[in-house]
A and B are shown apart, each in its own frame.
Chain A
Amino acid sequence: MSDFVHSFWSHYVTWITLGGILGCVLLLWVTSRKKLPDSVDNTTGHVWDEDLRESNNPLPLWWVGLFVLTIVFSLFYLAFYPGLGNHEGRFAWTSVQQYEQEVTQANADLAPIYARFDAMSAEQVALDPQARHIGEHLFLNNCAQCHGSDARGTKGFPNLTDGDWLYGGSPDKIKESITLGRQGNMPPMAAAVGGAEDVKNLAHHVLSLSGSPNDSLRAALGKPKFGACAACHGADAKGNQALGAPNLTDKVWLHGWGEEAIVSMVTKGKLNQMPAQEGRLTPSQIHVLSAYVWGLSNTSTQKP
């Protein structure tokens, strides 16, 4: 649990802390036994700069009592809570643990609100105004960092509003993507395709699939090379949602459009990741969130 790089620092902190407390006890003990010499004018007898004298204005005893209390408190505190170097205390308290407890408590407090949605289907949840409001908040807090506040994504981060899905757009598939995350893997295929010219030809063939501007001669030359891609993207290049292989015949270009981008993708491959939200969000939260995301591309429910 300790962040100390060497046990010396643990001892150092421990001894300084205990030494400080002991010093306070000693100071109290010595000063409470000290008696001032009798004086007519109630001064301590000290004189500085010829005529500066120190009056004795005795500290009230209740204040001394408070001082003793703080010492007693500090000893109890150090026994039960971490404070003495690596010693974790009788309660073994940590801030992480307390945070987790508070999250559990907050989830329990919110459970009654989510209970209503748990019983509903995703399609129903997507129509519920309160659920949409909660879903919007969950999305802005947890998803918008990558997918954008409007869920329309950016390069490398899929647009969630266009009805085009890598792993399937049913509420259940969306829930699966959110819960377990996704690992998108485009392996480097240049060797299987052939030389640099072959890859370039293949790129033009891929461009031709979606009717994008291309060099038709190169596209024709590249067509036979598509066999290497068909294993994942399918012989008709419409992709495979079971593998997360994108449809190459539409105009959605997640990782960039044009010859250069496609050549780079075929040559270098790409690993893309959607992190799993399981454990970070509760199943009920994920239920509401996936319904919200599903609703984004089923536009009849999108506008409040």
Chain B
Amino acid sequence: MLKPVRKVIDIQPVDGSGASLYAPSPKIYPRSVQGRFAMWRWTLVWLTQLVFYGLPWLEWGQRQAVLFDLGARRFYIFGLVLYPQDFIYLTGLLVISALSLFLFTAVAGRLWCGYACPQTVYSEIFMWIERKIEGDRSARMRLDAGQFSLEMLVKKWYKHIIWLGVAMWTGFTFVGYFTPIKSLGMEFLQTRMSSWEVFWVFFYGFATYGNAGFMREQVCKYMCPYARFQSAMFDADTLIVTYDAQRGEPRGKHQTTADVKRTTGDCIDCSLCVQVCPTGIDIRDGLQYECIGCGACADVCDTVMDKVGMPRGLVRYATQNAIKKGWNSAQIWGQVMRVRVWIYTGVLLALVLALSTSLALRTPFRVDIVRDRTTLSRITEYGTLQNVYRLQIMNATEHSSDYQVSVRGLHGIELRDMDPIHVEAAQARWVVVHVDVPYGSGEPGSHKIWFDIDDPHSGQKVVEASVFLIPR
């Protein structure tokens, strides 16, 4: 373990009468950073955002490829047509996502937070815009600290207009997953969007604008629940962004003359690691709850170490055990597959397997059978006993089909006047079904029967159980 560092937050008492329970949060001006980890983050920004902004524009046959039609209660994901009854797949997906987070966190800490979380991704985009307009850290600090001027006004306006543009486009894209995005665009151009569409575009847009433009690290520090419970997944073998104190301390300027033996550690106390930090902490104080594991300090320290001619990695991804015992990376990776990682991986693989098997074996239609409750049983003009059922067929494919229905379970049981049931693509249909049995084909009471529904189009079959009542 590191030497325990008692963190002391610098507080300037307002009137010398002590600290308050509430405090304004100082604005953070992160300096731009280049390097390995920044490149990874930008790669993920591009990947996730190409998917998010691009997906609604893809077509699949006659419709949008990914569309969640809440009004009609149909969820289209490429070739897949899901009904609300398929909700279990969403549950499965969420459980898999949660377990992936567990696994990533156990292995390498807050990977999600640092690279792929929308909060990080949109903050990165918004900070890039800010930097292009207002300049880097010191220029922005000067601008904010300076007197009100025309230059300031122009730059701020410019920035907020572009931010709002990106935010509104994000809101528009979000709503485009629920209303076909092309007709949404037409509605917008003709100013006839419905009030709920307008509401959600603005709601999601302003959430993006507020969270990525203003709240930024405050979201991670005070709102995000995942940031709080992830510490349960950490252990001494988890990779975290760490400052190598044994190598770096005591920090200070390096002596320039070659013949004098250096008394300081490798850290030259340039404070760049603090300047680039998006949450405003000093990584040299050790692992802190604010750290989102973005690796910006590691990147910037590497460039400094390159400049002063020292080996890279004064701030690097390492585990607490590795720092304490001076392990190299091979030894660190040797510790990766420990019990908790095995368990997370095992459960995750099992769930992925179960979900994909279930999706692959899913019949492309669903059947629901409800026995009529008003009529227990009746005697027909043909001298048979009759029960009435309502049969719902939900077609989860892109083409219409004529479903064949048959029934079994009692001697001589048959369907009366049953034609194949025609159901249009992605539609559901209720059909009234009469089931007859010859008089005396069973004891009075309830008998289990089965409906077989065949889809000639896919060649698949669904069996639904129900009961047939024979009166006394």
Contact = CB atoms under 8 A, between A and B. Distances in A.
Contact of B378 (A144, A147, A154): A154
B8 A146 contact: no
A217 B449 CA distance: 47
B388 A152 contact: yes
A34 B432 contact: no
B434 A60 contact: no
Grouping DSSP codes into helix (H, G, I), strand (E, B) and loop, the A interface class, with mixed when no group exceeds half, is: mixed
Given A58-B20, A149-B432, A150-B432, A157 B25 contact: no
Contacts of B432: 149-150
B374 interface: yes
B375 A36 contact: no
Contacts of A149: 372, 388-390, 432
B334 interface: no
Interface string B4-20: 00101101010001111
B374 A58 contact: no
Given A42-B9, A152-B388, A146 B21 contact: no
B24 interface: yes
A280 interface: no
B19 to A, nearest CB: 5
B232 to A, nearest CB: 20
A59 B13 CA distance: 15
Given A42-B8, A62-B218, A36 B19 contact: yes
A6 interface: no
B430 interface: yes
Interface string A114-132: 0000000000000000000
Interface string B367-402: 000001011101000000000111000000000000
A37 interface: yes
B22 A32 contact: yes
A148 B18 contact: no
Contacts of A136: 430
A34 to B, nearest CB: 6
- Residue of B13, B20, B24, B430 with most chain A CB atoms under a 10 A cut-off: B20
Contacts of B9: 42
A235 B434 CA distance: 39
A61 B23 contact: yes
Contacts of B8: 40-42
A63 interface: yes
Contact of B21 (A31, A41, A140, A154): A31
A148 to B, nearest CB: 5
B229 interface: no
Given A42-B8, A63-B222, A154-B378, A148 B22 contact: no
Contact of A58 (B23, B218, B375, B430): B23
Interface of A: 31-32, 34-38, 40-42, 56, 58-64, 136-137, 140, 144-150, 152-154, 157, 303
10 contacts: A31-B21, A36-B19, A38-B13, A58-B23, A137-B430, A147-B374, A148-B374, A150-B434, A152-B378, A153-B375
